Amino acid sequence: MAPTGPVDRELSAPLPACCPDCGGAICFEREDEQFQTELPERRPTVTRFVIGIGHCTNCKRRVQGRHPEQTSDALGAAASQVGPNAMSLATWLHYVMGLSFKKSAAVLGHLGVSVTAGALSSGAQSTGTDLVPVHQEIVATLNDSAVVVPDETGWRVGGEGAWLWVVTNDRATAYNVADGRGFDEATELLNEDFSGVIVRDGWIVYRQFTEADHQTCTAHLLRRCHELLASNPDWARSTPREVKEILLAGLDARGLSKSKRLAVVADLTERVQLLGEQAHPHDENRKLVAHLTNEIDALFTYLTRPGVDATNWRAEQAVRPAVVNRKVWGGNRTWRGAGTQGRIMSALRTAVQQGLDPIEFLVRLARAPNPAMVSLFH
């Protein structure tokens, strides 16, 4: 199959003068094609900026020129720097692909750019600082949204336990590393008075967002039913079977008209209420029904509100890459690094959601004289 892009060069493979097996003459029949896509030659580009320096004749202020491709105004001992494309690639390798800073430095070295792991770590901290207003914009965008999906997972900071929080939807994703799993930590990303729809798992903290409407994750409940059907004795399997049927009936109703969906919600809600009024001698069944009754107003929001998913899959997809990275290099060494972690991950994932190349976005951020003016949303 031919490549979709342009062909940069063309080489010929002529017929040999004679047959390599018997030495006979070769009769030309036709030409055919083969395509090979290759990386460019590993040769870094060194740019010398000639910078004008002067002063104001009125206030005597020192004035220095700046080229659009510069990322810093530093001169003298700090005048030699690694360019934004190389540093942004290293940031992407570390925070998205999960490579350590040492391995990221090795990749750049293979490409002809000599840099230390410490320099990459320091550069990431600077990027994290520049991303403070970008992260604030992401959080504000999520809090202005009609639907958000939060989740949390274990993390490590300095070898101690911590939590990585995420709030996401189809437009943006925000991460934050916190030292707890309570409501105070949840409100670091999601405002206490958030009034949209929260699609979440059964963690009790999310119920404290009392101004919001809720959708509890149907997949979590179905998984719990499957576990009980496998572990319960025969006489105690009717309850999880009934719950499973109720949940699947709700999922099957997603393609119906609005009026029919509302009728299904009323019927299924009544079935849950009747289930809660029955006796459940098996302890695990009693816990399941109690949880279902407690979540009754959050079971079928996806059938009554447009744009609401039945599960929290968006948040779980957002958490998964971070979990992989945690298993590779264990989390963060310091809380400053944890803050950088949250801001960079938020920017890179949101850039992809906005249809932007995350590396190009970081390059644009690095070259901006005022990083606060760089936005992901316009």
Residue 16, pLDDT score: 86
**Residues 152, 52: Cα–Cα separation, whole Å:** 50
- Is residue 44 within 8 Å of residue 113, measured between CB atoms? yes
Query: Which two three-digit tokens encode residue 90?
Result: 């290293």
Residue 20, pLDDT score: 85
Residue 8, pLDDT score: 86
Residue 355, in any domain of the structure: no
Residue 271, in any domain of the structure: yes
Low-confidence ranges of the chain (pLDDT < 70): 1-2
Predicted TM-score (pTM) of this structure:
0.89
Could you report the per-residue pLDDT of 80-107, keeping only the tens digit for each?
889 999 999 999 999 999 999 999 999 9
Number of domains in the chain: 1
Residue 291, in any domain of the structure: yes
Residue 84, in any domain of the structure: no
Residue 234, in any domain of the structure: yes
Residue range of the domain that includes 274: 218-310
Residue 194, pLDDT score: 98
Helix or strand run (H / E) with residue 226: helix 218-231
Sequence-separated (6 or more) residues with CB below 8 Å from residue 377: 137, 141, 354
Burial 120-130 (b: 16+ CB within 10 A, else e): bbebbbebbeb
Residue 302, in any domain of the structure: yes
Residue 47, pLDDT score: 93
Residue 1, pLDDT score: 65
Residue 132, in any domain of the structure: no
Query: Which two three-digit tokens encode residue 4?
Result: 């979709």
Residue 244, in any domain of the structure: yes
Distance (Å) of CA 139 to CA 129, 222, 346, 347: 16, 31, 9, 11
